[in-house]
Structure 1
Amino acid sequence: MRRKGFDGNFALLAAGQGVSLLGNSVLDLALSMYVLERTGSAAVYGSMLAAAMLPAVLLAPLGGVLADRADRRRLMVWLDVLNGCAVLLTIPFLRGEGGVWAAGALMVVLSVLGAVETPVVQAALPQAVTAGALEYANAVVLQISMLSAMAGPALGGVMFGVFGAAPMLLVCGVCFLATAGLERLIRLKPVEQSPAAGGMLRTFRQDLAASVRLLCREQIALLGLLGLTAALAMLCNGVAGVGAPFLIRTSLALDAGWYGAAGSALGTFGILGSLAAGFLAGKMRGCLHWVLAVMGVFLLPAGAAFLMNARPLVCYGMLVAAFCGMQMCAVVFSVFARSAMQRRVPGQMLGKLMALGAAVETCGQPAGQLVYGVLFDACPAGWVLLLTGFLVLALGLAGRRVLARLGL
């Protein structure tokens, strides 16, 4: 369906994101299967994954500065060219004794490039659409991301079983290079840049200081939104990321098929959430805090079912329903929160603020997973779910004033 404010630039940006994200999703599976097949150790793969996540947090501010200082279209093109070349150059090393190290190095390189690419794409989006179409555009980008996350592992699993890791990396490298070709055709509106401070390090410090001043003095509501997002990431990603596998596989003693079905349901409801966000564009003024409150309410029946020691399938159904409802609400909140930031931040500072938001959310996720790992071991699952439900409900109600300042 054609939306006002969408044009060929957005279509190219969305198509490029689709090809790139699908390649990333297939690549993640290929690397994980390759490392596990060669080493037989989940600890080795887990260590590599943890090491690869660090650049996403540590280099996010640098990625934001580059997103604001460089030509965003050219930067997207070169980043995908580098992604493609890194993947293709890794293929010859996979057959040797150092194949595992080559795979680990590739994971780190891709993480470094991704730390720059994420804020660049998010900052470029307002240049590709009109201000009134931001919610629709963010919803479409999220739909593409979720569809890629669902289709990638399924496609990758078949490809890995038939062809092995090397052909999969070849396909992924071509996907990145094809994305670069699409991005070369994008034409973005120019953004006025603030003068550089003279020297890369001084400019980096100047830009970060300007971002802090913007948040603390001019856009205090956005600072509150970042805090709200971090708290939400810690609570919701913690309870779902730890709770879903632990409760389904350990507490309820259900096999992996039930867990896989839950994952498919979550992906489906994530897509439904992005569709709902597009439908609700322009209709959420003064209402977004209720979306957060409802997220907490979804957890309460699941907590009650576990406390009453209901039958395993009853508990499973309540738990999956709770997490699916939360997923749908979280996507709606994400679309409107991201659009509010893109709309209120000046174009020459948008990359830095989007990078900061991504870093804050990334930090909240492992913190929540650590806390909930301890909680689910130490406390009855029902009480953990109920407590989290009430905390998220309270978070939504407490965030009403912050969201109202943003017109949400």
Structure 2
Amino acid sequence: MKKTKLFQRDFTMVVIGQIISLFGNGILRFALPLYLLRETESSALFGMVTACSFIPMVIFSFFGGVIADRVNKRNIMVVLDFSTAGLICIFYAAFQRLPLVPLMIVVLMILYGISGAYQPAVQASIPLLAESDTLMQANAVINMVGTLSGLLGPVIGGILFGSFGIKPILALSIVCFLASAVMEIFIHIPYEKTSYSKGAVAIVKEDLKESWYFVKNEKPAFIAVVCILALFNLVLSAALIVGIPIMIIQILGMSDMHLGAAQGAMGVGGLLGGILAGAVHEKMKMKDSWILLAVCACAALLMGMTLIPGMPNQLGFWVITVMSLVIMVASTIFTVQMMTVLQQQTPPHLLGKIMAAIMAVANCAQPAGQALYGVLFDIFSEIPWVVMSGGAVVAFLISLYSKRAFQKLNND
């Protein structure tokens, strides 16, 4: 049997476009919240702004899936990359001329909203550009691209921010989005144009109804798994997004470059996880995925333990950095497995909507968790280890509870 080649022209161009676009996104996501934390020195405000910025991502990822199944996916990528470049140009012009906090909230909300609408188009295009026998590898590559950008973004962003401030980062991100948009114009993704007799609202309503009918009647295991992921994101993912900058910058008193290194370690972990995902997918089945969530919870517990009074700050930094890497290895393997199983069990005409809905529901609780952790780190500023360790213990209990849901998904 002839082996299918994964890196065809169009898939390769999607990968390159993702590298450029996500790198620009990565340095912005690193620098903008860090600038806010440095300027305000408020954990609660930092958590609140981060939470607000995630809300549009959840909403737009849901409707982005409907759009991805109805519109040429290439055009979605091109328009959104050009839009992001325009947004950062406006922010650059308004920077230090308008009040910081409202401006930051608006820009981050729009930035994350665009990201939420962008990713369903990418995810839905993968099965159209890769054959079924290379689908697992294609998902692993796309995840590795995201984590590679997550590695380079914080590392380079930390160096630039520490040396020159935020303006060079804004300029570099504009160049990245423009370059990605221009290159994506030349990508061909299979698409059949359909004429519609109904209005946009009616189409969206009908699509969502069809997706819900499929999940409810054909794949009820999806519902249980997504609810577990939402709970896990509320408890642990939110703690990491808000907690790592607070722990390194405020509690341990480290530099911006230290934070960039720690978040860069997460990128390295994502790369390793992407490599390992292709190697272990035949050995580790979906029913065993709860183990990966448990590993993430245990790693977060070790992070919390380093904040106990008397622990050297340098030791705390290295433990947080190494455990960040471990968490990303485990979570990336989990994500690749999950995405592949969901893509294999979903009809092609529902793929964009189902994938977007799953991402939206799984992430819907995360903003509340981010706001909560920002407040908790302020309240328990004298004993911050309680916040991180407590969240890790609850996350571990959730991973144990998830065993039955993953068993059911595995059997399907």
1:20: Cα distance to partner? 0.5
Q: Which runs of 5+ in 2 are unaligned?
A: none
Distance (Å, rounded) in 2 between the aligned partners of 1:30 and 1:300 = 23
Q: Deviations over 1:330-367 (max 9, x none)?
A: 21111110111222222222221122122122223344
Amino acid at match of 1:256: M
- Which one is further off, 14-23 or 140-149? 140-149
Work out whether 1:126 is the aligned partner of 2:124. no
Looking at structure 1, the residues matched to 303 and 157 of structure 2 have their Cα atoms a distance apart, in angstroms, of 36
Question: Which residue of structure 2 aligns with residue 23 of structure 1?
Answer: 24
The residue type paired with residue 205 of structure 2 is R
Q: Does 1:405 align with 2:408?
A: no
Equivalences for residues 381-400 of structure 1 within 5 A: 384=390, 387-388=393-394, 390-400=396-406
Deviating more after overlay: 207-216 vs 379-388: 379-388
The aligned runs of 1:8-407 (5 Å cut-off) are 8-32=9-33, 40=40, 42=42, 48-94=49-95, 96-97=97-98, 104-160=105-161, 163-190=164-191, 196=196, 198-238=198-238, 240-241=240-241, 254-256=252-254, 263-285=263-285, 288-289=288-289, 291-292=291-292, 294-295=294-295, 298=298, 302=302, 324-369=325-370, 384=390, 387-388=393-394, 390-406=396-412
Query: Structure 1: 5+ residue runs without aligned partners?
Result: none
Q: Distance in 2 between matches of 1:28 and 1:381?
A: 24
Instruction: Point out the more displaced range, 234-243 or 271-280.
Output: 234-243
User: Structure 1 67/297 Cα, relative in aligned 2: closer, same or farther at 3 Å?
Assistant: closer
Moved over 6 A (4+): 245-250, 257-261, 303-306, 308-321, 370-373
Is the CA contact 2:74–2:188 (under 8 Å) kept in the aligned structure 1? yes
Q: Which amino acid aligns with 2:405?
A: G
Cα distance in 2 for partners of 1:254, 1:41 equals 14
Q: For residues 217 and 256 of structure 1, what CA distance do their matches in structure 2 show?
A: 52
Q: Is the 8 A contact 2:301 2:389 kept in 1?
A: no
TM superposition score normalised by structure 1 = 0.80
Q: CA deviation at 1:207?
A: 0.9
Q: Which deviations, in whole Å up to 9, do the C-alpha atoms of 1:194-228 show, x marking residues without a partner?
A: x7461111111111111111110122222233223
Contact 1:16 1:182 (C-alpha < 8 Å) held by counterparts? yes
The answer on whether the counterparts of 2:121 and 2:352 sit within 8 Å (CA) in structure 1 is yes
Residue 88 of structure 2: SS of its match in structure 1?
Answer: helix
Alpha carbons of structure 1 residues 338 and 187: separation in structure 2 relative to 1, 3 Å: same
Deviations 1:60-113 (A, max 9, x none): 332121111111111111111121222224433336356776555433332332
CA distance in 2, matches of 1:34, 1:319: 21
1:30: how far off?
4.4
1:151: Cα distance to partner?
A: 1.7
- Code of the aligned partner of 2:254: A
Residue identity over aligned pairs, in percent, reads 28
TM-superposition CA deviations, 1:143-176 (whole Å, max 9, x none): 2222222221332233345555444323222211
Report the CA distance between 1:255 and its aligned residue. Answer: 4.5
Aligned AA (2:403): L
Given that residues 296 and 388 in structure 1 are in contact (C-alpha distance below 8 angstroms), is that contact kept between their aligned partners in structure 2? no
TM-score, scaled to structure 2: 0.80
**Contact 2:33 2:50 (8 Å CA) reproduced:** no
Q: In the superposition, relative to structure 1, how do residues 354 and 380 fare at CA in structure 2: closer, same or farther (>3 Å)? A: same
Does the CA contact (< 8 Å) of 2:230 and 2:365 recur in 1? Answer: yes
Q: Secondary structure at the match of 1:6?
A: coil
Q: Decide which moves more: 324-333 or 197-206.
A: 324-333
Does 210-219 or 85-94 show the bigger shift?
Answer: 85-94
Query: Larger deviation: 173-182 or 345-354?
Result: 345-354
Distance verdict in 2 for CA 1:323–1:198, change over 3 Å: same
Please list the CA deviations of residues 180-202 of structure 1 after superposition, one character each: whole Å capped at 9, or x if unmatched.
Answer: 12212211223586x74611111
SS in 1 for 2:364: helix
For residues 31 and 247 of structure 1, the distance between their equivalents in structure 2, rounded to whole angstroms, comes to 17
Aligned mates of 2:304, 2:29 — CA distance in 1: 37
Between 286-295 and 144-153, report the one with greater CA deviation: 286-295
**Following TM superposition, by how much is the alpha carbon of 1:114 offset from its aligned partner in structure 2, in angstroms?**
2.0
Distance 1:314 1:93 in 2: 40
Structure-2 separation of matches of 1:259 and 1:110: 22
Kept in 2: contact 1:26–1:168 (CA 8 A): yes
Taking a change above 3 Å as real, the CA distance of residues 347 and 315 of structure 1, as seen in their structure-2 partners, is: same
Closer/same/farther in 2, CA of residues 349 and 196 from structure 1, 3 Å limit: farther
Relative to 1, partners in 2 of residues 1:209 and 1:328: Cα closer, same or farther, differing over 3 Å?
same
Q: Is the 8 A contact 2:286 2:337 kept in 1?
A: no
Tell me the distance in 2 between the aligned counterparts of 1:244 and 1:31.
Answer: 15
CA RMSD after TM alignment: 4.0
Provide the rounded CA distance (Å) in 1 between the counterparts of 2:154 and 2:191: 38
The amino acid of 2:112's aligned partner reads: S
The amino acid that maps onto 1:151 is: L
Matched residue count: 401
